[in-house]
Amino acid sequence: MAKPRRLKMLKPQVSTLKPKLAEMSGTGWRAGKTTTERGYGYRWQQARARFLRAHPLCCYCERQGLVRAAAVVDHIVPHHGDDTLFWDEKNWQPLCKPCHDGAKAAEERGARQP
């Protein structure tokens, strides 16, 4: 008969949930807005496609000597609804999805902490 397995303890996820909770509670700048209302409509999709054609590789991966296709146009400085910052191409960088969701997200979480 097989020995029963013990469940592993999961790491607390509170710190990663704080930004999402703020959005859900209606206190974040994105609360209650659709992606189009936040600026990610047809005009953004066209600009994003053009930018990725001109900058096809992830800049975070390139810094590590890796070659990976970019899939996300990231705002270097989060725009928080500021149209000028949103559309400033000098504030855009090409990232692959893992870098955008991992390293960049961790940087932004770190910047929010006091």
Whole-number pLDDT of residue 1 = 63
Residue 14: per-residue pLDDT: 54
Q: What is the pLDDT along the chain (114 residues), one digit of tens a residue?
A: 667 777 666 666 555 555 555 555 556 766 777 767 776 789 999 999 999 999 999 999 999 999 999 999 999 998 888 889 999 999 999 999 999 999 888 888 886 544
| pLDDT value at residue 33 | 72
DSSP letter string, 70-87 = --EEEESS--TT-HHHHH
All structural domains of the chain with their residue ranges: 56-114
The CA distance from 73 to 58, in Å, is: 10
**Chain position carrying tokens 């999961």:** 10
